[in-house]
Structure formats: C-alpha cells, structure tokens
Amino acid sequence: GSGKKESKGEKGASEEIKDLVTYEVPQREMENVFVLNTEMAADLNVLCNTNEGFLETNPKGQLVAGIAKEWGTEDNGLTWTFKMRDDVKWVDQQGNEKADMVADDFVTALEWILNAHKNDAGNNTSMPISMIKGAKEYREYTKSLSADEALKLDKSKFLEMVGIETPDDYTVVYHCIAETPYFDTVAVCACLYPISQGFIDEVGVENVKSVGIDKLWYNGPYILTEFIQGNTKTLTKNESYWDKDCKLFDTVTIKLVEDVTVGYSLYDTGEIDTIDLAEANLRAIYEDENNQYHDYLTEKLPNKFSYQMKFNYAKKNEDGSDDTNWNTAIANEAFRQSIYYGLDLTKTYERANMINPLSCENTAYTMKGLVYFSDGTDYVDRVEELIELPESNGKKMRRLDKEKAEELKKQAIEELSAKGVKFPVEMDYYIPAGSQLALDSATVLQENFAECLGDDYIKLNIGTYVSSLTQEVIDPSLQSVVMNGWGADYGDVQNFLGQETYGEETAYYSMNYTNINDATDPELIATWKEFTDLVNKANAITGDLDERYEAYAQAEAYMLKHAMTIPYNLEISWQLSKINDYSVSHAIYGMQNAKYKNWETSVDAYTTEDYEKFAEEFNK
C-alpha cells in the first residue's frame, strides 16, 4: 500500500543492522578453519573475516590498500614490494593481543604452504609455484625430507631457496619467475595470507592442521567465536582491528539452512536478514501485487563465475570406445556455430531469474569486471565489440541469429552427413542424482535444444552421477557437454583463456573437460592452435597492460567466433535483503566477497526502487 511508499521515502534515516544474521546451505558448510590449508570457497567466505592479507577489494573489484599501505613493481612485475602498516595485531579468540603483525608472518605462511609436510593436501600451492621463484624447488625439497625433518625446518633454507625477502619488519619483497604484471591480485588470495610464527609455536607444528577456533589467532575484522558444525557460525567484531574507521557489525551469525525454501520462511519470521529466492517463492511474490514482499524484490549482482558450455571433443561411450558420431559432429565448426547462434536460452535463464532473464546472458568467456583498460573500459566490453555483438533489445538474447543458425545447421548437416554422422546427434549431459533443481534445469535445457535446433538435429540426453562428476563422468569422458563456471584466481585474462589452450598441461579445461588434446580432426586442431598462439602472444606482453588486454581480447574473440566454447550464463538471482549488495566487495578473484566490512544495511528491507538507485549510482 501507500504507507510503505512513505516509509521508503525516509530510507536514508533508516537504522543499520548491528547483528547480522545470514545463512548458508549444508553443502557449503565450512570444513577447515585454518586459512592456509584450504581453497574451498565455503571456508574462505568465513575465514576472510578472521584473517587478512596485504590488500582488499572494493565494491567494484579493484584492489585497495589494506595491511599493505603501498605496493608495486618497478620491473614489469618481476619483483613486487609490499610495504605494511605497523599497527596490526594478532589477537586470540578472547581478543587479547598476542603479537604484532610483521613481514615475517608472510614468510612463515609461504613456507607453510610450500612445505609438503605441513601442507600435505597441497592447497594454495598452484599460484605460488607457478609465479614465485624457487617455490617449486622448495616444495620438491621438502617432499624429499621425512615428515619429522620437514616439520622442524626453520626458515633459513626457505629464504635461501625461495624468492621472498623481508628487508625490514614491515616490508615484503617477492621475486617472480617471469614478468608477472598481475602478481598483486594474488595478494587477495589465501596463498599469500600471513600466519604468525608465534601462533605455530603456541599450538605446536603438528597441531596446526586440526587447530580449533579457540586456539586460532586472528588479524581480520572479526573473531570466529562460535562454530557448531551443521548449525551456526558466529563472527564477533575484533576490537583490535587495525581499520578503526570502518563499519563492522557487532556480530555476524551464519545459520545453516536446509534449503532456500526453508530460508524464506525464516526471513519471513525475521530470523535471517537476507534470502535468495527460489523459483516458487519468487514467482509467488512477483505475480501477486498484494504480496507483502512484492516491492522488496531486489536483483542480485552476478556471482563471480562465468558459465560456459564446454564440449568434449574426445567423448567416449560407456564401454570405453570413442563416440565417433559426437566427436565428428562437434569437430565441425558449422555445427558448433549453429548452436551458438541458434540456441535460445531465455527459458533456461527464466528458471533462476524469471523477472529479468536476459540479464543472465553471458556474452564472453572472461568474466566482466576482471580487468579494465586504462581508459576504464571493461575488457569484456572490448570483446563484445570485437565479435560485433548486437546491443540488447531486451527481448531476445544478444547473440541469437535464427537465420544464420538455420544456414549453419544446413551446412553442418550437409558436411557431417558426408562424414557419416547420424542425426540427431546425441548429446550427453550429466547432472547430480537427487537434485531436482538440476533436473528441472536440464529438462528445460533439453527442450530449449529441441525447440531451437530441432530434435532431429541434436538430442540432449540427461544422465546422472551420484557423488562426483569428475569421478563418474569426466574421468571416463562420458559427457558431451558440461556447463561450468570459472572463477578467477587472480586478476589477469590469462587465468581465463589459459585454461583452454592446446597442448599445454596447465590448461585445465583442455586437459580435463574438452579433451581437445585427444581430438583427431585436423581442422579442429588447427583452430585451437591458432587460438593458443594468440593467447601466448598476449601472455608475452607484460609492459603495457592495455596492449596485453587487447591481445587477449583478440584471442577471446577468435574463440567465440569459432564457437570453441559457448558462453552459457551468468548467475543473477533475486532476493529479499536488508543488505545493500552494491556496498559489498565484488572482486572477481580473491576471497573477499563475503567480508562483512563496510556493508550498508537497513533494518527495513531494501525495496526494488532502492536497488535500482544503487545500481545507477554504481554503474556511473
């Protein structure tokens, strides 16, 4: 009613939340409380509040100073220097100051990560090993030691071998293997986070892995005061936090909720402060003008994953033989392009975002917001330009071109029939068993294919796996296609495109999902090699970042034009929330997105209008 509108007018005066209550689903329950030993987002979302590295990210995703007051490189990224504040303290769970934070803490931490016996699961090793001088060698060295020896190592050997030094107590210098202009973006990842030697000594080296929250040392804005596995985590404000001026909650409580439907009723009763809306709730609220939450629906910002349809170019049948039909078909460029231009995913997008489905369209391979040209242009905008993507008309997907698709389809049928491909081409797609959500989406996708491309052309088959996609599907190479989202590890396009290159072991998707290296079609391989050359060319440019990004953009455009992989979607859902998402840190890489620092909140939930205003301001 109108009463609500009035209260909206006074929003500015509305009170902020002191004790935030938010939620998590059981699949994303924390497993590990020691920040160096985990790479799981579920853990880091919590730990980014209790631990802090050199830098932070702002709502736009840019790096800003944190513990490091200044940082930079003078040699195109071969050596990086971080100058720290001198007023940062380590505290224990009761908030008692335990030690000052010094440069050595970063050495201790890196040593921990690289020491094969301290960090036996190998978490957080990949970036240091690929970037920092001597890291790989040191890890190999520790492997050769017995567990006892390795645990007892002091840092002298480490400092000798690895490219890290501390000229003074508050300066850390890293030496990279090659020119790494983006090395600073790694500083927001757990692999460059510090840990105090004092802490290790206090708990004992062998107990660090299984340390409890009561023994941890904290240097972040919050202290983890409660962790009841399967139920609650409570973060309490760290009174000794260095950033005295920032805005923090007194406490943040993260409750575990069976699913968002249950969460919705909790929001309804005021037990939690924000909730993502599941399909049914969203629909019910949206379609009913009188629903009390009708005006409070707010669209979230995209999460940081760029989802792609990744084809398998060396697919196998269940019996282990090659699926020649599929492999031949997918090697055909016209076939792939017909999917690119012809497949209308609007209905799929509606599943998550029925109000504004087209906002979920993903246009490129790299995630928007990863890097910017020096003029402020987003890298992805440049890619869109290069592939001549039409502007959105708000009615259909931007890349969609029915006529072109039709032509390509004809061409593909012609070319493939000649090679003996049988139509419809069967396309195997796997989802987790027991997940109705996945099944529903897959069903819709299946119909999208049938409707847009005709089920005499491509037929999507839905299969299931029980526990592990990798184990049950990817390893035996059973899938035709996987929809996978990549989240950046650090702030460079290489991190995205590098996963798709040909013939390189570090290319994750090529090695595991697309199996391009096992493909036989010469034309296909040629395309990939071409793309790989383009990427490598860009990699080599380290001095001028604009130039570097432009080269990447060329490579990415090539990839998209040849439909080597097809952008699928962005996850943008709707919520009811008392949190202003635009005030929340939004890095595409790093672990700071759930850092409850400087969040704007309102005890009265935000309205759609409020959010529109925020968005406008944000995008300025």
Partner 1 sequence: MFKYTIKRLLQSVVTVLIVVTIVFLLMRMLPTDYFFTEDQLMKFTPEQKEEQLQAAGLLDPMPKQLVRYYGQLLKFDFGESRRIQNGVDVVSVIGDKFTISMKLGCTALVISLFVGILIGIIQTLNKDRILDHVGTAYTIFVNAVPSLVSYSLVLAFGSKVLGLPSLYSTRNPSETSILPIVCLSLASIASYALWTRRYMVDELNKDYIKLARVKGTSSAGIMIKHVFKNAFVPLAQYVPASFLYTIGGSLLVERFFSVPGMGPLLTDAIVRYDVNVVQTLVVLYAVLGTLGVFLGDILMMLLDPRIKLTGKGGTR
Partner 2 sequence: MGENEKKDDLFRFVEYSAEKAERTGYSDYSYWKSVFQNFLKKKSAVVMAIVFFALVIFSFIALHIGKYDYAALKTNSAMAFQSPNGEYWFGTDNLGRDYWCQVWYAAQTSIKLALIVALGECVLGVIIGCIWGYIRSLDRILTEVYNIINNVPVIIYMTLIALLVGQSFTIMCISLIGFGWLTMARNVRNLVMMYRDREYNLASRCLGTPIWRVLVKNILPYLISIIILRLALSIPSTIALESTLSYLGLGLGIDTPSLGILLRNARNYFLEHPYLLIFPAVIVSLITVTFYLVGNAFSDAADPRNHV
Give the footprint of partner 2 on this chain (CB under 8 A): 259, 261, 265, 278-281, 283-284, 347, 350-351, 354, 431-436, 439-440, 443-444, 447, 462, 464, 466-467
Whole-angstrom CA distances from 606 to 9, 352, 595 are 12, 20, 20
Site string for partner 1, 112-131 (x = CB under 8 A): --------xxxx--x-----
CB 278 within 8 A of CB 436: no
Separation of CA 401 from chain center:
30
Of 377 and 468, the one with the shorter C-beta distance to partner 1 is: 468
Stretch of 34-42, 244-252, 342-350, 448-456 contacting partner 1, by CB under 8 A: 34-42
Q: How far apart are CA 320 and CA 178, in angstroms?
A: 41
CB 266 within 8 A of CB 241: no
Of 145 and 444, the one with the shorter C-beta distance to partner 2 is: 444
Of 231 and 435, the one with the shorter C-beta distance to partner 2 is: 435
Site string for partner 1, 471-490 (x = CB under 8 A): x---x---------------
Beta bridge partners of 459: 426
Q: Which of 448, 512, 517, 608 binds partner 1 (CB under 8 A)?
A: 512
Interaction of residue 228 with partner 1, rule CB under 8 A: yes
Residue 365 phi, psi dihedral angles, 5° rounding: -85, -40
417 binds, among partner 2, partner 1, none (CB under 5 to 8 A by kind): none
447 binds, among partner 1, partner 2, none (CB under 5 to 8 A by kind): partner 2
Residue 526 phi, psi dihedral angles, 5° rounding: -60, -45
Q: Provide the b/e sequence for 244-282 (b: ≥16 CB within 10 Å).
A: eeeebbebbbbbbbeebeebbebbeeeebbbbbbbbebb
Q: How far apart are CA 154 and CA 200, in angstroms?
A: 12
Q: Quote the least distance from Cβ 468 to partner 2, whole Å.
A: 9
Q: Quote the least distance from Cβ 513 to partner 1, whole Å.
A: 9
Interaction of residue 65 with partner 1, rule CB under 8 A: no
Q: How far apart are CA 165 and CA 143, in angstroms?
A: 23
Q: Quote the least distance from Cβ 446 to partner 2, whole Å.
A: 9
CB 334 within 8 A of CB 276: no
Interaction of residue 215 with partner 1, rule CB under 8 A: no
Q: Quote the least distance from Cβ 449 to partner 2, whole Å.
A: 12
Location of structure tokens 């697919």: 315
432 binds, among partner 1, partner 2, none (CB under 5 to 8 A by kind): partner 2
Q: How far apart are CA 140 and CA 136, in angstroms?
A: 6
Of 96 and 210, the one with the shorter C-beta distance to partner 1 is: 210
Interaction of residue 229 with partner 1, rule CB under 8 A: yes
Of 209 and 404, the one with the shorter C-beta distance to partner 1 is: 209
Interaction of residue 468 with partner 1, rule CB under 8 A: yes
Q: Quote the least distance from Cβ 266 to partner 2, whole Å.
A: 13
444 binds, among partner 1, partner 2, none (CB under 5 to 8 A by kind): partner 2
Number of residues this chain uses to bind partner 1 (CB under 8 A): 41
Half-sphere exposure of residue 598: CA atoms within 13 angstroms, side-chain side: 15
269 binds, among partner 1, partner 2, none (CB under 5 to 8 A by kind): partner 1
Q: Which of 1, 3, 9, 230 binds partner 1 (CB under 8 A)?
A: 230
SS3 446: helix
574: nearest Cα among 358, 282, 335: 282
38 binds, among partner 2, partner 1, none (CB under 5 to 8 A by kind): partner 1
Q: Quote the least distance from Cβ 509 to partner 1, whole Å.
A: 10
Q: Which of 17, 22, 34, 353 binds partner 1 (CB under 8 A)?
A: 34
- Cα end-to-end span (Å), the chain: 32
Q: How far apart are CA 8 and CA 3, in angstroms?
A: 9
Interaction of residue 470 with partner 1, rule CB under 8 A: yes
Q: Quote the least distance from Cβ 26 to partner 2, whole Å.
A: 12
Stretch of 195-203, 281-289, 356-364, 461-469 contacting partner 1, by CB under 8 A: 461-469
Interaction of residue 205 with partner 1, rule CB under 8 A: no
Q: Provide the b/e sequence for 332-350 (b: ≥16 CB within 10 Å).
A: bbbbbbbbbbbbbbbebbb
Stretch of 87-95, 96-104, 470-478, 547-555 contacting partner 1, by CB under 8 A: 470-478
Site string for partner 1, 261-280 (x = CB under 8 A): -x--xx--x-x---------
Q: How far apart are CA 62 and CA 58, in angstroms?
A: 5
Stretch of 26-34, 97-105, 165-173, 572-580 contacting partner 1, by CB under 8 A: 26-34
52: nearest Cα among 63, 37, 62, 67: 67
CB 357 within 8 A of CB 454: no
Q: Which of 17, 22, 39, 560 binds partner 1 (CB under 8 A)?
A: 39
Q: Which long-range contacts (CB under 8 A, 24 or more apart) does 26-32 make?
A: 26/230, 26/256, 26/258, 29/229, 29/230, 29/256, 30/227, 30/229, 30/233
1: nearest Cα among 295, 298, 355: 295
CB 494 within 8 A of CB 535: yes
Interaction of residue 374 with partner 1, rule CB under 8 A: no
Interaction of residue 217 with partner 1, rule CB under 8 A: no
CB atoms within 10 A of CB 532: 21
Q: Which of 113, 161, 256, 453 binds partner 1 (CB under 8 A)?
A: 256
Of 151 and 355, the one with the shorter C-beta distance to partner 2 is: 355
Residue ranges that bind partner 1, judged by CB under 8 A: 26, 31-32, 34, 37-40, 120-123, 126, 143, 209-212, 228-232, 255-258, 262, 265-266, 269, 271, 467-471, 475, 505, 508, 512
